[in-house]
Structure 1
Amino acid sequence: MPVQSSSRTVLAEWFREHGTPLTTLDPEQPLDDLEGLREIVGDARVVAVGEGAHFVEEFSRARQRVLRFLAERCGFTVFAMEFGFSEAFPLDRWLRGEGDDGDLVNVSRAATEWGAADLLHWLRHHNRTSAHPLRFAGIDVPEAGGALRPALEPVADYLREVDPDALRLVDTALEVSDRFLRGCGSGAAAGRRGRASRKPSRTS
């Protein structure tokens, strides 16, 4: 009776048949070895890139090369990752040219602590030189926990200029959020307490 191949052997054979060897993990090197991704991506508007474990340098370097390929050769314009929704706003502004190159640690200490400094500096450089800059978005729970205020106050600032009548909707959402957090005993509701519509208008 023939010996059946183990699942590990079957998986290895599948990789040999379908895989494409990478010539390097260096994010600065040419991207020709990633051209096989173009057929996989096709006309997709969203591409998800995962990793087997956090804080593994090889995964991070490979991901940066894939991001470069998607931005430079496939025309993608938004980079969304596991990062606080509210905290992404100032980081996105920095990546699009606000402030100085050395300001990253002040803009987002968390991003530097989990080893994303090289990637983010590359993004800033890419946005400075590319005709198709990348926006940055956080798709995780903000550091403020369930507080909506850090996310909604920029919305209130925008509405104050373009549609003041809509501010009452933001006011309602903020009141519900603050009331919920106070009921949970959370300190995340701390901060600016005034109604959004009571904040003085900006002057030019």
Structure 2
Amino acid sequence: MRSAALPLTDQASLDPLLDRVGDARYVLLGEASHGTAEYYRLRDVLTRRLIEEKGFSFVAVEGDWPDCQALHCSVVGAPGAPADPREVLAGFRRWPTWMWANTDVAAFARWLRRHNDGRPPDRRVGFFGLDVYSLWESLHAVLDHLRAHDVDQVAHALAAYRCFEPYAEDPQAYALSTRYVPEGCEPQVVRLLAELRQRAAEATSPDGSLAEFATRQNAEVLAGAERYYRVMLESGAESWNIRDRHMADTLDRLMEHHGPDAKAVVWAHNTHVGDARATDMADVGEINIGQLVRERHMGQGVVLVGFGSHSGTVLAADAWGAVPRVMSVPPARTDSLEDLLHRALRGERGLFVFPHVQFQRPLTEGEWYHDERGHRAIGVVYRSRYERVGNYVPTVLGERYDAFCYLDRTSALTPLHALPAESQEKRTWPAGL
């Protein structure tokens, strides 16, 4: 195993991973937690090289569409947008704010703004959100756009708004209400989305307008969020799958919007990036972005990159909506993937690039990366007391990822602004992620 590890010491040591990317159009970069600085920094370095050396078109992240659209406008220098992307990030308010409003994302966004300043407007690299949670923000955005640009469509948006209005922008209140009226606001949302989809289909030619694309996308978020919140109180795979299908579909729309030569970098948690079929997620019927992108686009080149570490600190919360704090991450569980790598590499970092995945082959071929082992996953909530019985995803590493970055000891993110007060955003994220 030690002989299979490539050095991971500086930018040049990433050359084998860039060689593995080759002409791939999809590169998905993971993280083993949402609160670890080194994962963000390594994704930053990799993404800069993908943009500068491979011509990647945009970054799409596990974040809300409206917030990330505001950041996109800043990094591409859109008229009226703040010149400093850090100013936009400091305005992010949805819990968990530290996922994106942190010093490492701010550093990357400032670099991206400088990079774009030297490029023509149609060649600037964007920053977009894939996630499904921004129901009310997306609804307000659709209303505002239609009132300004297409008053004939406002009635459908208002019907959806009036249906959601009694729930005072509380997703749990809406979710609970659907136990008594199962269809909830689905009819109003579907009518609005159908109108906007029809409008897009009838366009004589794509105008490249981000405003028009964003309005359609906000309607897609609204539909996805409504479905997600309607089923989120029930256990099982359905709510998870709604979310990851929405993110994969959003990525497809972004690629279509950017044209036939587009290339995408995705930033998301390992549980979204690593192929679900190589984990116990498949046993309960869960899918994820990595699996869907491989299934849909393998012929165009897909590279999935996972991350992990053995111990350190992390920024996380004790419960949903709670104020985050810096927590200790104890040494990895005995016989876990992280424990195995820590002992084999003697505390050093390492890069592993695996042979091309083939799910048809048996899982026992003698190589350590074909063995199933627990792989640690820390989300926005972390309870270290469950370290011995939870927090690990059974994983066949060489099938879950195309490459893996092992960092051994890592440290917590630094948030941009004061830690938030108790939030109403409870039970809207899948457990632990």
Question: Does the alignment reach a TM-score above 0.5?
Answer: yes
Partner of 1:127: 116
Q: Once superposed, what is the RMSD of the aligned Cα atoms?
A: 3.2
1:156 to 146, 163, 174: 146
Alignment of 1:1-204 (within 5 A): 13=1, 16-17=3-4, 19-24=5-10, 31-97=11-77, 98-101=81-84, 103-105=87-89, 107-108=91-92, 110=97, 111-113=100-102, 116-130=105-119, 132-142=123-133, 144-145=134-135, 148-153=138-143, 155-156=145-146, 160=149, 164=150, 167-168=152-153, 171-179=155-163, 181-182=164-165, 185-187=167-169
| Contact 1:148 1:177 (8 Å CA) reproduced | no
Q: Which has the higher strand share?
A: 2
For residue 16 of structure 1, what is the amino acid of its counterpart? S
Q: Tell me the TM-score normalised to structure 1 length.
A: 0.64
The alpha-carbon deviation at position 103 of structure 1 amounts to 3.1
Partner of 1:193: none
| Contact 1:81 1:139 (8 Å CA) reproduced | yes
Q: Tell me the TM-score normalised to structure 2 length.
A: 0.33
Would the alpha carbon gap of residues 157 and 40 (structure 1) be closer, same or farther in structure 2, given more than 3 Å must change? farther
| TM-superposition CA deviations, 1:45-80 (whole Å, max 9, x none) | 221110111221111111101111111111101101
Would the alpha carbon gap of residues 178 and 63 (structure 1) be closer, same or farther in structure 2, given more than 3 Å must change? farther
- C-alpha separation in 1, matches of 2:82 and 2:26: 30
**Structure number, greater radius of gyration:** 1
The alpha-carbon deviation at position 34 of structure 1 amounts to 2.0
| Contact 1:147 1:177 (8 Å CA) reproduced | no
1:116 partner SS: helix
Would the alpha carbon gap of residues 130 and 108 (structure 1) be closer, same or farther in structure 2, given more than 3 Å must change? farther
- C-alpha separation in 1, matches of 2:72 and 2:126: 6
- Name the count of aligned residue pairs: 161
2:54 partner SS: coil
Q: Which has the higher helix share?
A: 1
Would the alpha carbon gap of residues 129 and 34 (structure 1) be closer, same or farther in structure 2, given more than 3 Å must change? farther
Larger RCO: 1 or 2 (CA < 8 Å, sep 6+): 2
Runs (5+) with no aligned partner, structure 2: 172-433
1:53 partner SS: coil
For residue 129 of structure 2, what is the amino acid of its counterpart? G
Runs (5+) with no aligned partner, structure 1: 1-12, 25-30, 190-204
For residue 139 of structure 2, what is the amino acid of its counterpart? R
The alpha-carbon deviation at position 113 of structure 1 amounts to 4.6
The alpha-carbon deviation at position 124 of structure 1 amounts to 1.5
1:48 partner SS: strand
The alpha-carbon deviation at position 119 of structure 1 amounts to 1.9
1:86 partner SS: helix
For residue 187 of structure 1, what is the amino acid of its counterpart? E
For residue 175 of structure 1, what is the amino acid of its counterpart? A
- C-alpha separation in 2, matches of 1:75 and 1:127: 12
- C-alpha separation in 2, matches of 1:133 and 1:75: 10
| Contact 1:148 1:174 (8 Å CA) reproduced | no
1:112 partner SS: coil
| TM-superposition CA deviations, 1:69-120 (whole Å, max 9, x none) | 1111111011010111112222111111233326335554643357522222
* Identical columns (%): 26
Would the alpha carbon gap of residues 172 and 77 (structure 1) be closer, same or farther in structure 2, given more than 3 Å must change? same
Would the alpha carbon gap of residues 60 and 105 (structure 1) be closer, same or farther in structure 2, given more than 3 Å must change? closer
For residue 133 of structure 1, what is the amino acid of its counterpart? R
